[in-house]
Amino acid sequence: MARVLTVTLNPALDLAIRVGPLRLGEVNRTESTRIDAAGKGINVARVLRRLGHDVTVSGLLGADNETAFLRAFAACGLHDAFIRVPGETRINAKLSEPDGRVTDLNGSGPRIPAHSLEALTERLWTLLPGLDAIAICGSLPPNVTPTQLAELVTVIRQFRVPVWLDTSGPALLAGLAARPTGAKPNETELAEWAGRPLDTPEERLRAALRLNAEGVDDVLLSAGAEGVIWARRGTALMAASPRVQVVSTVGAGDTLLAGTLHGVLSGWPRERGLRFATALAAESVRHIGVGDPDATDFEQLQQQTEVRGLTVDPLPGETHG
C-alpha cells in the first residue's frame, strides 16, 4: 500500500443531471440527478483508495458548504488535510445526454486569501515526507495564478516525491515548465503546449515525446475514443479502449490517471498498468462516477483492451529523450 496525496485547489460540488435529448429554450425533464463532493483530485483519491492505497486529500475548500465533502471523505476513508477558506465551494452542473455528450456549466470558485495559500504550502511541507506520489489536479480558483501553481510543483520536487499534474490552459503551461514527473493532457491541451494543431496520432506522439525530452518523464495523453498514449522517457505505448455503452464521461480522465498511478506504485510493467487504467476508465463511462475495479466484468474489459508499442522517426534536429 502506497502513501499518496492529491491536491485539489478548486474543488466542486458536482451536480450530475441526465436528460433525454436536450431542447434548448424549453422545459426539459431530468431522468436522474445526483450531487457529489468532487474535484479532479478528489476523484483520483477515491479510485486510489478503493485500490488499497493510503490517500490524503488536500487543497482549498470553502468553509460554508463543507458538509458533503466531510461525509465523502469519511465514507471513502480519505484523510482530510484541506485548508478551509471563507465562502462556498463552487457548484458544477454536468448535463449528460443519451448520445454521451456532456455539457459542463462550471463555477469559477471562491477568491482565496493570501494567508490561505500560504497555509496550504506550510501544510504540504508537513505532509510530503514519506509520500510515494502526489497528484495536483483541476483548475485554479480565480485569484490563484499559474505561477503560484508552478511554484507549488517546484516545492514538491525539492522533496524528490513524484508529482503528477492534470490541469489545463495557462495553469498547465506554467506547471509543465516546472517539470513535474508526469502530466495527463488531452489532445487539445497538448496542442496548446506545442503551439500548433496536432491533428494526427503521429503528431500527438511526437509532441508527447518532445515533452519527455524537455523533462516531463511521463506523459499520459487521453484522446477519447482514439485511445490513450503513454510516453515515458522517449518510449511510448498506446491502448485502445474496449467498446462500452457511454452514459457519462465525467470522471473518466481522473480514473485513467488513478489507474495509471496504481500500476506505477504497484511496480507493474507499463503494459499491464496501461491496460488496467484504460479498462478502468472505460468501466467508468458506463455510469455516473469514477471507475469501479470490483465490477463483475472488469477482468473481461482488461482482456478487451489492446496495448501496443509506438514508434516514430525523429524529425531533423529532434530528440526523444
Report which secondary-structure segment, H or E, holds 90.
Answer: strand 90-96
Task: Report how far apart the first and last C-alpha atoms of the chain are (Å, whole number).
Answer: 31
Rounded to 5 degrees, φ, ψ at 92 are -110, 125
> Which one from 14, 36, 218, 254 is the annotated catalytic residue?
254
Nearest to 73 by CA among 40, 49, 109: 49
Q: Are 170 and 176 in contact (CB under 8 A)?
A: no
Judge whether 254 counts as a catalytic residue. yes
> In this structure, what DSSP letter does residue 196 have?
S
CA distances from 49 to 42, 150, 181, 271 (A): 10, 27, 21, 22
Planar angle of CA 86, 92, 93, nearest 5 degrees: 150
Q: Can you tell me which residue has the cell 525523429?
A: 314
Q: Are 42 and 66 in contact (CB under 8 A)?
A: no
Residue-by-residue DSSP string for 217-257: SEEEEE-GGG-EEEEETTEEEEEEPPP---S--TTHHHHHH
Which residues belong to the active site? 254
